[in-house]
Amino acid sequence: MKDDNDPENADGVRGHLEAAGKSDYCPGIYEKYIKRAMDVVLSFGGLVVLSPLYIGISAAIIIDDPGPVFFIQKRLGQNKKYFKLYNVLYG
């Protein structure tokens, strides 16, 4: 619903969101467990397959710049608690 009295959002549009409706969807065993298991197995497999590439990139970073491969930054997160953000340095 558009209302000119509402503040402008991040997209530059005035207005607010309305509830679309209530859903009675109940996920089954496939959605709850099998999809999650497939995600975990395929992600782990991808990491194993791509690990030689990651090691090569890390070696190239170390050869090019003798500094650390990872850049660690302290950030303020949810409930004003700090967490460490790990970034890979590229050239």
Structure confidence at residue 23 (pLDDT): 83
Query: Of 62, 75, 78, nearest to 88 (Cα)?
Result: 62
Structure confidence at residue 14 (pLDDT): 72
Tokens standing for residue 19? 């509830």
pTM over 0.95: no
Each residue's pLDDT, cut to its tens digit, for the chain (91 residues) gives 566 677 777 777 777 767 777 888 888 999 889 999 999 999 999 999 999 998 998 888 888 877 777 888 999 988 889 999 988 766 5
Structure confidence at residue 1 (pLDDT): 57
* Pairwise CA distance, residues 49 & 55, whole Å: 11
